[in-house]
């Protein structure tokens, strides 16, 4: 039986365990590993929204630095001002 809470998006092993699944269960045909310990129901695993959500779980949270600083500073690009002639 597949827990309803795990049918709508990606989850990690801890989330699966909260719903009574083990790592061995996740090796079955119903599930797909998306990388970095993140899994999804096979039926939704290729959905772009699910893939994006799974990828975002694997990235460090740095949203505030993107909002507070200019893009060039965030990626360490420094541009020199040039004079028009």
**What pLDDT digit, counting tens, does each position of 28-44 carry?**
999 999 998 999 999 99
In a domain, 82, yes or no: no
What is the domain count for the chain? 1
Three-state DSSP class for 5?
A: helix
pLDDT at res. 1: 86
In a domain, 68, yes or no: yes
Cβ-contact 50, 8 below 8 angstroms: no
Q: Look up residue 10 and give its DSSP letter.
A: -
In a domain, 85, yes or no: no
In a domain, 25, yes or no: yes
In a domain, 80, yes or no: no
Round to the nearest angstrom and report the end-to-end CA distance of the chain. Answer: 73
Q: How much is the mean pLDDT over the chain? A: 82
| Structural domain for 59, as ranges | 4-74
- Separation of alpha carbons 5 and 56, rounded Å: 19
* pLDDT tops 50 at residue 65: no
* pLDDT tops 50 at residue 66: no
In a domain, 52, yes or no: yes
In a domain, 16, yes or no: yes
């Amino acid at each position: 039986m597949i827990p309803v809470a795990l049918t709508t998006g990606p989850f990690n092993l801890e989330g699966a365990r909260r719903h009574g699944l083990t790592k061995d269960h996740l090796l079955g045909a119903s599930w797909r590993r998306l990388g970095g310990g993140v899994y999804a129901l096979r039926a939704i695993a290729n959905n772009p929204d699910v893939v994006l959500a799974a990828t975002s779980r694997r990235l460090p949270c740095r949203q505030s630095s993107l909002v507070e600083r200019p893009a060039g500073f965030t990626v360490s690009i420094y541009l020199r001002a040039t004079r028009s002639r």
